[in-house]
Amino acid sequence: MKVPPGGRSDVAPASAPPNSSPPVTKTTNRTLRITFPILPALHYIGSGASEVESRLRHPKTLPLPTSQLKEDIVETIVARKMRGTLEPLHTMVYFAPEATDEYTKVGLRRRGSHYLASRSAPMGAVSAEIVHATFFGFAESAVRRYVPECWDNTTPEAVVQARFRVADQALRRLLGDAIESPEMESAATVALEAAAACPPEGRPLFAAHAGIAPPDAPHLALWHAVTLLREFRGDGHNAALVVRGIGPVVAHAWYSATPRGGNRAFLATLFGHSEEAWAAADATLADLGYTNRDGSLTELGLTEREVLEQATDIASMEPWRAIGEERCSWLRATVRPWARSIVDAGALAPALG
Determine, yes or no, domain membership for 122: no
User: Residue 4: which pLDDT band, with cuts at 50, 70 and 90?
Assistant: very low
Domain count, the chain: 1
Q: Determine the Cα–Cα distance for residues 84 and 96; give it in Å rounded to an integer.
A: 20
Kindly list the distances between the CA atom of residue 32 and the CA atoms of 26, 66, 311, 318, in Å, as whole numbers in the listed order: 8, 6, 18, 16
Determine, yes or no, domain membership for 262: yes
Interval 42-62 mean pLDDT: 32
User: Residue 350: which pLDDT band, with cuts at 50, 70 and 90?
Assistant: low
Determine, yes or no, domain membership for 138: no
Answer whether residue 141 shows pLDDT above 80: yes
**Ramachandran region, residue 321 (left: φ > 0; alpha: ψ -120 to 50; beta: rest):** alpha
User: Residue 36: which pLDDT band, with cuts at 50, 70 and 90?
Assistant: very low
Interval 278-300 mean pLDDT: 97
Helix H or strand E segment including 81: helix 77-91
Q: Determine the Cα–Cα distance for residues 242 and 229; give it in Å rounded to an integer.
A: 20
User: Which one has a higher pLDDT value, 316 or 262?
Assistant: 316
Answer whether residue 48 shows pLDDT above 70: no
Entry field: residues in the chain: 353
Give the CA diameter of the chain. Answer: 63
Determine, yes or no, domain membership for 145: no
Residue ranges making up the domain that contains 272: 65-92+178-345
208 Cβ contact list (under 8 Å, min separation 6): 122, 123
Kindly list the distances between the CA atom of residue 15 and the CA atoms of 21, 172, 187, 189, in Å, as whole numbers in the listed order: 17, 20, 9, 12
Determine, yes or no, domain membership for 148: no
Determine, yes or no, domain membership for 58: no
Closest CA to 92 of 348, 263, 339: 348
User: Residue 161: which pLDDT band, with cuts at 50, 70 and 90?
Assistant: very high
Determine, yes or no, domain membership for 37: no
Determine, yes or no, domain membership for 288: yes
Cβ proximity of 215 and 1 under 8 Å? yes
